[in-house]
Amino acid sequence: MTAVLVAAGAFLMTLLGGLVAQRVGDRRHLVLGFAAGLMLGVVAFDLLPEAMHAAPQELHGVPQALLMFAAGFLVIHVVERAVAIHRGHESEYAEHTHGRSASHGHSHGGHAHGGTQGVGLTAAGALVTHSLMDGFAIGAAFQAGSTVGTVVAIAVVAHDFADGFNTYTITRMYGNDRRRALALLGADALAPVTGAAITLLFTIPEQALGLYLGFFAGFLLYLATSDILPEAHSPHPSRTTLACTVLGVAFMWLVIGFAE
């Protein structure tokens, strides 16, 4: 029951992250830069280390968690190519401006990418699933002991601010309306509490958890580097946007370091 109460803190932090993302207005490029940094930090400092720890077994000389990481990256890449999000050639990417946006399938004012709202929903759904797994992590950690549970809970609550921020941002970025983004934000906020409650009944096998985290890490890395960062730098190619990305990575490094 303690795990469920702690997960309520993750609920509040997720909502806070989404509300902050909702109110940024014309500074959206800075938000996207910061969001990409947060996602890179989560992948490098949290998801991949956890995946490697949970699923270290090797397949043909490569840890299974890293194979799933590559699979996650490739799956979203194939999906995006299949729905023709990126129609241009490499020369067009170098000229990623408002003038090119119409032919490139982007609509910065409407936050749309060639009508691919489903990609935004899929990405946000993956974040909701990740938050559900965060709840599992809290519950499992408290089963191992109160000290371990407290450390994990601190990390999860801090991460869930970024989760809420990213859930709202990604949903809107792919052309979904505000109501749908808020609905997914609410689902993301409830997910840790639900996950913690489920662990009162059973726990997820560590191997399966590690494989999932590896896959999701690849998924997030692709979104951060292939979609969010180009979108952030397209209307405002500035040093400030780059600084926000570095700040996002550094923030996650500090959060995870303090939680250890």
Both structure tokens of 17: 């992250």
Q: Does residue 99 surpass a pLDDT of 70? A: no
Residue type, 16: L
Sorted by sequence, the CB contacts under 8 Å of residue 145 that are 6+ apart come out as: none
Among residues 232, 234, 175, which one has the least CA distance to residue 31? Answer: 232
- As for how many domains the chain has, the answer is 1
Q: Does residue 123 surpass a pLDDT of 70? A: yes
In the predicted model, what is the mean pLDDT of residues 233-241? Answer: 75
In the predicted model, what is the mean pLDDT of residues 57-70? Answer: 94
Confidence of residue 181 (pLDDT cuts 50, 70, 90): confident
Residue type, 164: G
DSSP string covering 197-248: HHTTT----HHHHHHHHHHHHHHHHHIIIIIIHHHHHTT---HHHHHHHHHH
- Helix, strand, or coil (residue 82): helix
pLDDT at 158: 64
Considering only residues 35 and 193, tell me which one the structure prediction assigns the higher pLDDT.
193
CB 34 within 8 A of CB 42: no
| Report for 54-58, 80-84, 196-200, 212-216: range of highest mean pLDDT | 54-58
User: Going along the chain, which residue ranges are E strands?
Assistant: 58-59, 62-63, 106-107, 112-113
Give the model confidence (pLDDT) of 1-34 as tens digits.
677 777 777 788 788 878 777 776 667 677 778 8
Confidence of residue 95 (pLDDT cuts 50, 70, 90): very low
Domain containing residue 79: 2-259
Phi first, then psi, for residue 113 (nearest 5°) are -125, 80
Confidence of residue 46 (pLDDT cuts 50, 70, 90): confident
Give, for 124, the enclosing helix (H) or strand (E).
helix 117-144
